[in-house]
Every structure is written in C-alpha cells, then in structure tokens.
Amino acid sequence: MKQALFKTIALAGLLHPVLSMADAEGDQFFEKQVRPILVQRCQECHGEKKQKGGLRTDSLAHLKSGGDTGPALVPGDPEKSPIVEAVRYGNDDFKMPPKEKLPAAEIAVLEQWVKMGAPWPETAGKTAVVMEGGFTEEQRKYWCFQPLNPGEPPATGGGWARNEIDRFIAAGHAGNGLQPSAEADRAEWVRRVYFDLHGLPPSLEEIWEFEQDTRPDAHERLVDRLLASPRYGERWAQHWLDLVRYAESDGYNEDAYRPAAWPYRDWVIQSLNTDKPYDQFVREQIAGDEIDPENPAVLAGTAFLRQPVYEWNQRDARGQWDIILTDITDTTGEVFLGLSFGCARCHNHKFDPILQKDYHRLRAFFSAVHWRDDMVLATPEEKRVHAEKQAAWEAATRGVREKMETITGKPVEAAGRKALEAFSEELQGMVRKDPASRNSLETQLAGLCQRQIERFRRGYDPLKNLKDPVARDAYKALAEELKAFDPMKPAPLPEAFVATDTGREAVAVSYKTRKGRTEVAPGFLSILDPSEPVIPPLERSTGRRLALANWITRPDNPLSTRVIVNRVWQYHFGRGIVASASDFGRLGEPPSHPELLDWLARTFVQDGWSLKKLHRRILLSATYRQTARRTPDAATAKVDPSNKYLWRFNPRRLDAEQVRDALLAASGELNLKAGGPPEEGTSMRRSIYTRKKRNTQTELLQRLDAPAGFTSTAERQSTTTPIQALLFLNGEWPLERARALARRARSVEEAWLHVLGRRPTGHENQIATGFLQKRPGHTQTPGRPLSGYSAIEGVFRENTGLERLEWNTPEREGDAFTVQAVFSLESIDRNASVRTLISRWNQGKESVEGFGWSIGVTGVKSRYVAQTLIVQLVGEDENSNIAYEVVPSKIPIQLGHRYGVAVTVSCAQRVVRFRVWDLSVPETPVREAVVPHAVRQRISEGASPLVIGGLAQRAPGHQWDGKIEAIRLAEVEADLAPLETPLKKDGLKWLPGLNDPAFVVLGAGAPNAQAAKPAPMEDLCQILMNANEFFYLH
C-alpha cells in the first residue's frame, strides 16, 4: 500500500512539474500566446508532416537547429533570429507566412518571446517526438486517454476516514499539509443533503426527526430514504437537462412551443428514480430507436437528438441541417466524452489530439438521423386499438370528408405548391422525388422542406379563406356533419418527439480541408482507436448510433466512465475532481485527485453503472460530512485558497430552481404533482415542471443563471446583480410568496422555521420584533369601504381622495367579457398615456405577471388616434408567446360629454367590439367598431387586481380625470341584445354612495392612501426570503 501511494505522488509530480515563478510565467506566455501562433501560422508547412525548406517549428530544438538556410532562432536575440525577420517581412525574398503578413500583435508576441530567451515548456519540448499516427508521445500519455488506474485506496486517513473516498482525500490533505474540517452538525448536514438530493429544504418535521435520530446509522438511513423518493429524480434530472440543452421551444424568432418535448423530461426523471444503469441511459438516448423501436419507454430517450434549435421558415434546408448535425456532434462530444470537439470541425484541434478527421468520424455516426413527426409514444397494443377505432371513424366519415376535400382540395394544393416553389430547384427536386428512391440526405432535406409545406397547407382555413359564400356555407355544413362523428373518433396517441435513421443506408459524407474534400466513415477518436469499425446495418437503420453508444459505454472507455463520475462529484461538491467537467482537454483543468477519479469510475462500472450507489458512497463519506463553516487559517488560505483538496465543504449559493422551489416550500404553496405537460413559471409546481421557452425564460430562473437551452451547460454561473435584487425586492411573484408566508406564519419564530429551518436567536428575535412594532399599521387595517366617505361623488382625479377603486374580488373574468360604463372625461394626457377607465393590468408586457387588459382614452401624443377609445391586451398569442397589442377603435370621445359604452373583448373570436353612445346629444346614433387582434388567451391571469379609474399601480398619466357613474362587467356569452339600448341603471354598479366592501378606495387624500394594506409581517417574511442565509448553504 505504501508503495502504491509513493507511485501516486511521483506521478502527480510528473504531471505538474514544480517550476520557478519565472519559468512558469515564460511557459504560460508560450502556451497562451506563442504556441497558438506557431500552430496556426507555421506548422501547416513547417511541422511534423511537411518541412518546407527543411524547417520544423514544433519544437525548440528544431527551431534552433533550423532548416536549409541555418538556424531559425537565436534565443534572446530577435534581431539575429531569421524567424523574426521573416514575419516582419523585412527581407523581400524571405516573407513568412507567404500569403499574408501576420497581424502586428502576433509579430510583437514572437519578438517578445525570442527576447525572453524563447521559453518552451520542458515537458512539451522534450517529448515533441513524432510517433506513428501523427500523435506525440506527450499526447498519447495525456491523462484522460490512459486506461483507468487499477490502484487501490491509500492507507491514509486513519481515524477520520469513513470510506475509501476519504483515504484518497486524506492523502491529498497530507500531501499539502492540510487538515480536514470538523463534521457538520445535524442541522447543517440535513439541510445540505436535502437540497443536494431533492433540491428542496427539509420540512420542520424532517429536520426534527433527523435531529432526534440517535441511531449510529442515522445518516445512512436518511440518504437511503432520500434516494428512494421521487423528488430525487426531479432534482437530478435538472442537471442532465442542463447538459443536453433541454428546452420546450424551437429557439429562433418564432420560438414555437414543442408540445411533445416534455415526455423526455419525465423519461429522464423516471430513469434516475429507477436507477437505470447509466450505460443503458446513454444508449437509449443515442440509439433508443435502434435498440427497441417498439418500446415507447426506450424510444423516448432519442429526444436527445431533437434538442437542437430549429427555424421553421428557413429556406436554406441544407444549411439548417448542417447546423443541426454540428450541434448534435458537439453536444455528444462534450456530454458523454468530456471533450470539446467543436474546435476540430474546421481544423485539427490546436491543443488536444482531436483530428479534424475525428470530428467528422464522430459526426458520421449521425449522418442518417431523421427527425420524425409521424411517430407516437405507444405500445404496439395501444397502436393497434387506436388504428382500429380510427379506421372505423374514417370509414364512417369518408363521404363527408371527400365532399369537404372537393371544396378545399385545390386551394390547399395551391398553398402547398407555393411553399414548395420558394425552395431552390435542387430542393424542389428532392421533394418531388419518389420517397423510396431518395437517398438519406435527400430524405433529410426533403423532410425539412415538407414540414414547411405542410404548415402552409394546414394554414389554409376554409372558413376564412374561401371567398365564395356558397362554398363556405357548404363547407360549414359539412364540418358540422363531420363533428357529429366525434364520439367515434379515438383520442390521438401521444405524439413522439423522437428520431430514427432514414433507413439502412447513409450517403457518404466528406469534410472540407485546405486540400479539398475528404470522404470519411464513422469512427472513434483516433488516439484511442484509429480503426474503422465495421457496422452491420440493422433492419431499418444503419446501426451507426448503436455502435457509437456501445463504444461510449464500454466499461473500459477511459473518457465516458471518468466523465460521469466526475459530474456526479461536481454536483455534490460544487466542483469536479476535474473542475472543467465538460473539458478534460489541455485547456481544462487537470484532476485534483486522479487516483480517486479512477477508483470511483472503476467501482461505478463494477456496481453496474448505478448512480444511486455512487451517490451513496459519496454522501456517506467523511469528506461530504465536513462542515462548510470553517474559516481558513493563513496557511490553508495560502496553500489551497480554492479548496481543491476539500479541507472543508464548499459553500454554495442555491441555484435557480432550488431558490424558486425553496420559496414555494417556505410559503407552503409548493405543489408536488409529478410529471405531465409543463406549466407557467408563475405556477406553484416545482421548477423542473415549468415551461422552458428558449426566448422567454421564467424571469426568476433566468435572473439566477438558469441556462436558456441553446448549448450544453456543465457548470452554472452564480451571479449577483442589482437587477436580481430589484426582482426579489419589488417583483410581484416573490412578493406573493412573502404574502403567503405571512398568512401562514403566526409568529416570528414560525417565519424563521419556515424560511431558514431553525429558530431565531435571541438577538434576531429582538431585531424582528422591533421591526414589527415600529411599523405603522402593525395591526392589519383592511381596505376602507366606500360608504361614509362623503368626498366621493364618483369623480376620479389625481391627488384627490378618489384616484382609483380596486375591485376586490377573487373571480377572474376570463378571455371573453363585456364592460359597460357610463362616464365623462375632463382631460386627456399631454403625452401618450391612456386615461384608464378600467383595467386589470400593471403595464407589464414581458411576463405572465403582466397579463391583463385595459380600456381607456388615448393621449395627445398617442401613436394611435388621439382622444379615442382603445383597448390594450397582454396575453398569449397562438404560439403561446407573450403578446401585447393595442386595439384601437378610432371612436373619438369629446371632453365633458356624458357617454355610455359597451366594450366586448373576445379572445376566441380575436376581435374587440366597441359601441359608444353619446348621451349628451340626444338621438346620436351608436358608433360601432369591430377591431381584430392576435391575442388568444390568458388576459385575465396576470398579477393585477381589477381597478376602476386607472392601472394597478399609481400612474398619474394613466389616471382617469372625470366622472365614472356606473360600471359593470358582464359575461360576453350572454345575449348582447339588451346592450343595444342605451345603458340603464339596472345591472350596473352605480358608484356614488355605493356601499360595497368589494371596493377599496385608492386616493392621495385618503388616510393610508400610500399603503392601503400595510403588512409588517409580510415585510419581515420578504426580508427573510432575501437573506443570505436563505440563498446560501454555508
């Protein structure tokens, strides 16, 4: 054992030679500045393959001995070094590089380097001997390509170590003169392990239970219980979704919602909860369709191949497909192999032994991938039953449908033809070709075109687009007839968001080098396996992805095995053994504990690739049990400031989902329903179940660094910004959580327990109690009912006792309603603000909180017609994007006149109907306008209450100025006929003298005008939810 340890240290010494400061600086300068220039600018012609003029520039020795004309370099003397003269273009016969002079900055770098004495890192310099296959000895010996080290744990850590992990860690401590920290107390550890495994704080009962558990295996029992809970999969799936850049929308401008994306999220959660072996988990994502195409639980994994962004109206189908395959290749390299392949797409990797050829060998495994939209997630039996019912419905409705098609056939065909003709001749040819005779590339590209064409065909709406009223009526009647058969029609099977191959064959693929195009077949990293694998085609598929998946999940794959255990370690400790978890290459960081990494990888594979066993091993270690609450002494801070050797537990900020879920847990509102279609970020569901639209992320998650899903994310940022603080102090959603907590917590102590999981200290109690007591309105004052307030005559005006009325009702009016009102208006805004009659709106336009509407009269500088009645709507459009729209009536409102209006909003019909009676001028005919809009739904789901005479917040420009005598909200479905007659008193709420507790007066002159509902407890709760202790595990 002792000998093994000695070896370990010796090896570490080799990998990280101890350099003097000057050496280190010079070497760093060389690696960062000089080597890239030599590689990029010189070695194409003067390297290991070609030696023009007999010169090589890939080692110092070669440069010093030089080429045909003598030494190229004299260290320390730029003026005597031909390499400097050449790049300066100082000699007309001897200009390098010959095509184009280097940028001045690069020339300066080379000059400086020679002046410094041409430092060249020793290891690199000495081992720059070319080996067979074009790789250097150094590259071949690079740590991550070596087989897993079979070494056993060292004998260190006696007394402290709880398991093998600790012995490795103890060796690191010993080697650096570090001491481990004390154990975390029960409270610290239980909070840590709950957030870690479940992403949620422990409940008060759970804390109490653990603190009371005196059995020696209490920690073990808790870990087992947490791993068995479905909450575990919900937390750890988020890590995986970050890696595969999971999102539920397309990502370009339209950013269309992907309604069938979420089953993959549930598939990941399920896979983790059932502890599906990691090798199987990987294989099903890369090649589920080739493994078990009939099994929806396996097929669903291939949604991994559907994650790239997609632009529905891209005419350049070839370019788009290229981007998609590049994205899949890059992500596969990063996620499963921990290497940044992206650099090698255009040239051999400059730092790692990844050839351009290797990039395209990897990409070739995916060259037959086909995005399928015609598949369902169902078992063969479910499909059979569905097909039977569908056939019966089709038989029964054939006649009707054929008649409908005779009406719509031609125009739909024309729409499709027009879409087709927008593509290049070449693409049109592919689409027109018989599908059976298309090769794989033609199938892929024609498929992309076909999606667009189909969309245009579907976009033809006979009821809207048919011009002939007879045909339209006929169609309408037929549609009614067809509807009668609906009870026969089976519910559609769940759409599958998956991929397969185009067939058994793939077209040959090639890539561009400086010398032209080179054909390439699927293959693995040359440095590990230069051979060309023989891949027999499967029944319906090339078998390529299965071959790749099998190679990635080989038990002796030195990359994939290390990569996954390192990721798990990283998520537990906040930093991987290799800190750059998706880059094991030379620009990443070397492992802090290489032997531990290898030991973990080996035992992980021996344990049947079980993630839960790996978690258990890590969580029960003494290393994980250390406290984070240790301030380093001077020596520790000097030796290991970033805690690479884990002399304590790493303090961490909660990540976005942990914060959001913890807010809901503290407020008691968390809805633990599992799985299913996603919900809005404002819902009470766990964050993993909220909708992930790439262009419109949930604000709170985005502000706390949740990735948008464009590229793979291995390590999240943890940022602090003033904008974040504004959201948490003033944003409606966090505030609502504080209000809910204030309703729940009956005392200071309870507030502390819910938010921080502990009782307040005496001092804290004192501070909090003092805070509550000095606040005005310590006792809750409800909104003052209108009755008995004599100043109110129904005149709404800024800086008076009646500015606005808040209509205090839990009911929501939905997406279709009518507002009737009787009013007069004395002025309009000098600028572009809208005198608001009634609203449910806070002027937000970016988030669900802002969903709402308002009705009012435009100001002088309005971009619409000034002094006219308008409606503003904020909701979702048909793509579920947030849409704000002004719906102008163009009907003028004379100042001082008395009006009756009826405004009908109907999102279903997407029109607003305005009717306006001028009651000051008898016999004036009603003025009417019907104005279309695009907002489809959810306009009454925002955070604002109904407000009469203004907006949810005080905004003078938007303040009504005049009398509102009566107002009423009616359901739009009600027969509208009674509204045709000018408004009567009946059915309206007449405002003056109204004695209705539903109304809360908001006005400048009224008592408590500024703070209608002061709530000190709410403030206290809000501040606790902003406290560092809430955000940090430290």
Partner 1 sequence: MSCNRIDPVVSRRHFLHRAGLGFGSVALSALFGEGVHGAEARPSMPDLSKITNGKGRAKNVIFLFMEGGPSHLDTFDHKPLLNKLAGQPLPPSFRPPLTAMGETKAPLLASQRTWKQRGQSGLWISDWFERVAEHADDLAVIRSCVSDGINHAGGVCQMNTGAVFGGRPSLGAWVSYGLGTRNRNLPGFVVIKDSESTVVNGARNWGNGFMPAVHQGVEFQPTGAPIQHLENPKGVTAQRQSEKLELLRELNREYNAARPDNTELEARIRGYELACQMQAEAPEAVDLSKESEATRELYGLNRKETAVFGRNCLLARRLIERGVRFIQLYSGAGSKWDSHSKMEENHGRLTHSVDQPIAGLLSDLKARGLLGETLVIWGGEFGRTPMSEKGDGRDHNPTGFTLWMAGGGVKGGHAFGATDDLGLYAVEDRVHVHDLHATILHLLGVDHTQLIYPHKGRPERIDLNEGHVFEKIRAS
822-851 binders of partner 1 (CB under 8 A) = 831-833, 843-846
How far is residue 183's CA from residue 108's CA, in Å, rounded to a whole number? 54
The residue to which tokens 């930093």 are assigned: 575
DSSP string, 2-64: HHHHHHHHHHHHHHS----HHHHHHHHHIIIIIHHHIIIIITTTBSSS-BGGG---SSHHHHH
Q: How far is the CB of 767 from partner 1 (least distance, A)?
A: 5
Residues in 91-120 that interact with partner 1 by CB under 8 A? 103, 105
Residues in 617-646 that interact with partner 1 by CB under 8 A? 629, 631-632, 637, 641-643
The correct pick among 711, 747, 799, 920 for binding partner 1 (CB under 8 A) is 711
| Token code pair at residue 618 | 């890590």
Residue number, 714 or 966, with CB nearest to partner 1:
714
Q: How far is the CB of 663 from partner 1 (least distance, A)?
A: 16
Per rule CB under 8 A, is residue 588 in the interface with partner 1? yes
Residue number, 221 or 315, with CB nearest to partner 1:
315
Q: Are 109 and 33 in contact (CB under 8 A)?
A: yes
How far is residue 142's CA from residue 525's CA, in Å, rounded to a whole number? 14
Cα–Cα nearest to 455, from 320, 313, 314:
313
Piece of the chain touching partner 1 by CB under 8 A; list 161-169, 200-208, 292-300, 581-589? 581-589
Helix (H) or strand (E) holding 884: strand 882-892
Residue number, 379 or 843, with CB nearest to partner 1:
843
| Token code pair at residue 361 | 């060998």
The correct pick among 16, 22, 28, 228 for binding partner 1 (CB under 8 A) is 28
The correct pick among 544, 703, 835, 933 for binding partner 1 (CB under 8 A) is 703
DSSP string, 112-147: HHHHTT----HHHHHT--B-GGG-BHHHHT-GGGSP
Q: How far is the CB of 710 from partner 1 (least distance, A)?
A: 3
The correct pick among 443, 561, 582, 683 for binding partner 1 (CB under 8 A) is 582
How far is residue 781's CA from residue 886's CA, in Å, rounded to a whole number? 37
Q: How far is the CB of 626 from partner 1 (least distance, A)?
A: 15
The correct pick among 130, 187, 407, 422 for binding partner 1 (CB under 8 A) is 422
Residues in 451-510 that interact with partner 1 by CB under 8 A? none
Helix (H) or strand (E) holding 774: helix 762-774
Q: What angle, rounded to 10 degrees, do the helices at 440-458 and 380-421 form?
A: 80
Q: How far is the CB of 972 from partner 1 (least distance, A)?
A: 25
Q: How far is the CB of 862 from partner 1 (least distance, A)?
A: 9
Residues in 644-663 that interact with partner 1 by CB under 8 A? 650-651, 653
Cα–Cα nearest to 845, from 876, 819, 817, 816:
876
Q: Are 305 and 499 in contact (CB under 8 A)?
A: yes
Residue number, 861 or 984, with CB nearest to partner 1:
861
How far is residue 753's CA from residue 745's CA, in Å, rounded to a whole number? 9
Between the CA atoms of 415, 418, 423 and 427, what dihedral angle is there, to the nearest 10 degrees?
A: 70
Q: How far is the CB of 465 from partner 1 (least distance, A)?
A: 18
Residue number, 109 or 972, with CB nearest to partner 1:
109
The correct pick among 91, 274, 424, 920 for binding partner 1 (CB under 8 A) is 424
Residue number, 56 or 938, with CB nearest to partner 1:
938
How far is residue 302's CA from residue 537's CA, in Å, rounded to a whole number? 19
Measured between its terminal Cα atoms, the distance across the chain in Å is 36
Q: How far is the CB of 451 from partner 1 (least distance, A)?
A: 15
How far is residue 226's CA from residue 219's CA, in Å, rounded to a whole number? 11
Per rule CB under 8 A, is residue 51 in the interface with partner 1? no
Residues in 840-899 that interact with partner 1 by CB under 8 A? 843-846, 861, 863, 881-882, 884, 886
According to DSSP, the residues that pair with 518 across neighbouring strands are: 511
x/- mask, partner 1, residues 277-296, rule CB under 8 A, reads --------------------
The residue to which tokens 């990039």 are assigned: 359
E-state strands within 531-689: 652-653
x/- mask, partner 1, residues 661-700, rule CB under 8 A, reads ---------------------------------xxx----
Q: How far is the CB of 741 from partner 1 (least distance, A)?
A: 15
The correct pick among 284, 358, 583, 918 for binding partner 1 (CB under 8 A) is 583
| Token code pair at residue 525 | 């990293």
Residues in 535-554 that interact with partner 1 by CB under 8 A? none
| Token code pair at residue 246 | 């999971």
How far is residue 933's CA from residue 815's CA, in Å, rounded to a whole number? 13
Cβ neighbours, 10 Å, residue 974: 11
Piece of the chain touching partner 1 by CB under 8 A; list 284-292, 576-584, 592-600, 923-931? 576-584
The correct pick among 193, 546, 714, 792 for binding partner 1 (CB under 8 A) is 714
The correct pick among 722, 788, 810, 925 for binding partner 1 (CB under 8 A) is 722
Q: How far is the CB of 1032 from partner 1 (least distance, A)?
A: 7
Q: How far is the CB of 951 from partner 1 (least distance, A)?
A: 10
Q: How far is the CB of 717 from partner 1 (least distance, A)?
A: 6
Residue number, 542 or 690, with CB nearest to partner 1:
690
Cα–Cα nearest to 660, from 688, 631, 619, 630:
688
Q: Are 701 and 681 in contact (CB under 8 A)?
A: yes
Residue number, 617 or 653, with CB nearest to partner 1:
653
Radius of gyration in angstroms for the set of CA atoms belonging to the chain, rounded to a whole number: 35
Nearest 5 degrees, angle CA 221-CA 226-CA 230?
A: 145
Q: How far is CA 691 from the centre of its chain?
A: 9
Residues in 736-765 that interact with partner 1 by CB under 8 A? 761, 763-764
The correct pick among 15, 22, 729, 930 for binding partner 1 (CB under 8 A) is 729
Residues in 791-820 that interact with partner 1 by CB under 8 A? none
How far is residue 236's CA from residue 234's CA, in Å, rounded to a whole number? 6
Residues in 941-970 that interact with partner 1 by CB under 8 A? 952-955, 957
Per rule CB under 8 A, is residue 192 in the interface with partner 1? no
How far is residue 350's CA from residue 363's CA, in Å, rounded to a whole number? 19
How far is residue 794's CA from residue 789's CA, in Å, rounded to a whole number? 11
Residue number, 387 or 726, with CB nearest to partner 1:
726
Q: How far is the CB of 563 from partner 1 (least distance, A)?
A: 13
Residues in 1002-1031 that interact with partner 1 by CB under 8 A? 1010-1014, 1019-1020, 1022-1024, 1026-1029, 1031
Cα–Cα nearest to 733, from 781, 690, 776, 779:
690
Residue number, 528 or 832, with CB nearest to partner 1:
832
Q: How far is the CB of 235 from partner 1 (least distance, A)?
A: 22
Residues in 245-264 that interact with partner 1 by CB under 8 A? 251-255
Q: How far is the CB of 902 from partner 1 (least distance, A)?
A: 26
The correct pick among 124, 130, 587, 934 for binding partner 1 (CB under 8 A) is 587
Residue number, 799 or 924, with CB nearest to partner 1:
799
Cβ neighbours, 10 Å, residue 177: 11
How far is residue 826's CA from residue 948's CA, in Å, rounded to a whole number? 16
3-state SS, residue 689: helix
Residues 6 or more apart from 637 whose CB is under 8 A from it? none
Per rule CB under 8 A, is residue 311 in the interface with partner 1? yes
- Residue 173 one-letter amino acid: H
x/- mask, partner 1, residues 903-942, rule CB under 8 A, reads ----------------------------------------
